[in-house]
A and B are shown apart, each in its own frame.
Chain A
Amino acid sequence: MSDTFEPRIVGFFCKWCTYAGADLAGTSRLQYPPNVLPIRVMCSSRVDPVFLITAYLRGADAVLIGGCHPGDCHYIEGNYYTRRRMAMMKTIFESLGLEPERLRLSWISASEGPRFASVITEYTENTRKKGPNPVKSKVFI
């Protein structure tokens, strides 16, 4: 194993848009870093804030939620709730002095394969620059 830091990113992707976007990026043979661990959810609003906290405390270097663009949600309004929750989570992280930058929200539709690849690339590079999640080495969680 090399000593260079490879970020581990947990991604919660909505089945209808972002996950399909990831599929499209794959079938179009687009290159993007393999650092993201995709988890498919039926809607981005399925993601309980506790999922984000769990991922963060268990050592994910970053957590990404991917959903449909506002107005395009398969369930009409799910992603609007996600956005509010994400705003809340960022506020909580900010108030507690954790790192809200490690939580990200992206809208990627099913037809945006190239966008998926570029978001993951940009995000991986950003996280690499930021360094590993400090919680990863804490014995107490």
Chain B
Amino acid sequence: MSKILKTNKGAEKCLQDFLKHLLESGKAKAVMALSKTVATDQDYTLNYSLISSTEELDNALPFFPLMPANAGKLVSYLTLKGPISAPIAVVLKPCELRAFVELVKREQGHLDNLLIISHSCGGVLTFDSYLNGNLDQDIKAYWGAVRKNQIPDKVRPTCKACIHFEPYTADISFDLIGQDLDQTCQITVMTDKGESILDGFDVKWTETKADPKTAQDLKALRQKAKDGLFESINADIYGIDNLIDVFGRCIGCHGCSNTCPICYCILCDFESKDHEFEPNIFEAEIIKRGGLRVPPNTLLFHIGRLSHMGISCVSCGLCSDVCPVEIPVSTIFSKVGEAIQDLFKYIPGKDLEEKIPLTKFEKQEFEEIEDK
């Protein structure tokens, strides 16, 4: 089911009131959303927080275009051992929601008792523009672009190229793109659960129809941006020499895998002893190659990680953003990940029922890759 409702109240205010309503009515014991952790007038630090008191909710900025961590991973921490006992409302961006669904498929989280609130997403600011730019001006420009159905300027490269900007499996989705956000709030009720939690929320809704053109226009715009982005990255990474050039500056901090929502292994294969060179291997390799980068296996780490999680890459862009040496990790993973996903006609996180392609098979397929 899917129902679109509209009211004349600012979108952010509407969501805040709605979250307050959930807490007050006891429909949710806590709310997880972006909120100010330390706030002064000019400056504030934003983080995801679990909020259970209504006063604390005033600090929540659920639509703020920033992703300090992929909240999909955070929700998986909350629900790792089993479904939570009391209902919690979580506000997730579409890619965070997709990441969470992928984690649930990997038995790293549970959906029961979660009220999932999402919104159509214009992208998130890079950490660089958040920390070093003129934030007020950037935020203003960001919302201006979202209202006008355009791609904001200072968002992550993968956000500019993201075509999955509308949530797939939320209970309630707030439609932000192309809307007059100060005056109106349009939501899509996507499930029965969403319908039931909306009950009793004291706002006058009128049912409306969505204009499919808004989303289509943006999708076309983003698709074009994506094609351009992939083409430019392809020139940078194609072939072993280019790969060495790009990944040569990796310092091995493994920040990309630590922040990756899909990389959930407690002990990463690449941090184990298995891939460490022992002195005799160093000796053998330098005789063979005439030299060896120390520490070695950087390329193995990146291509290996690609083979482990590329099938589920949701292109959230966090890996590029945390990279201290500015390797365009997310663009590369997004491009190669999409090639793999296309092979299996799979969109990660779109459908909870659809199994991860590598954990299922057809008896007759891919016969072209076998030797005859």
List chain A residues, Cβ under 8 A from B244.
138, 140
How far does the Cβ of B226 sit from chain A's closest Cβ, in whole Å?
15
Choose among A84, A134, A136 the residue with the greatest number of B CB atoms under 10 Å from its CB: A84
Find chain B residues with CB under 8 A from A77 CB.
361
Contacts of A92 in B (CB 8 A): 303, 306-307, 310, 336, 339-340
In the complex, which residues 111-126 of chain B have their Cβ closer than 8 Å to any Cβ of chain A? none
Within 8 A of A (CB), among B309-368: 310-311, 335-336, 339-340, 343-344, 357-359, 361-366
**B203 contacts partner chain A, Cβ-Cβ < 8 Å:** no
- Smallest Cβ-Cβ distance to A81: which chain B residue: B361
Point out the residues of chain A lying under 8 angstroms from B366, CB to CB. 83-84, 86-87
Pick the residue among B238, B275, B288, B300 that contacts A136 (CB under 8 A): B288
* Cα A87 to Cα B276 with chains together (Å): 28
**A residues 8-56 in Cβ contact with B at 8 Å:** 48-50, 53-54
Q: Which residue of A lies closest to B362 (CB)?
A: A80
- Nearest-CB distance from B290 to chain A (Å)? 7
CB of A141 within 8 A of CB of B296, answer yes
B24 to chain A, nearest CB (A): 49
Residues of A contacting B: mostly = helix
Q: Which residue of A lies closest to B359 (CB)?
A: A81
Does B131 sit within 8 A of A, measured CB to CB?
no
Whether the pair A119, B371 counts as a contact (CB closer than 8 A) is yes
30 A–B pairs (Cβ distance < 8 Å), ordered by A:
A48-B269, A49-B307, A50-B269, A50-B304, A53-B307, A54-B300, A57-B297, A59-B289, A71-B363, A83-B361, A87-B343, A87-B369, A88-B343, A91-B339, A91-B340, A94-B339, A95-B335, A95-B336, A97-B239, A98-B239, A98-B240, A107-B371, A119-B371, A138-B244, A139-B291, A140-B248, A141-B293, A141-B296, A141-B297, A141-B300
Which residues in A have some Cβ–Cβ distance to B below 8 Å?
Answer: 48-50, 53-54, 57-59, 70-71, 77, 80-81, 83-92, 94-98, 104-107, 119, 134-141
Q: 8 closest A-B pairs (Cβ-Cβ)?
A: A97-B238, A80-B361, A49-B307, A97-B239, A139-B291, A106-B371, A140-B293, A50-B304
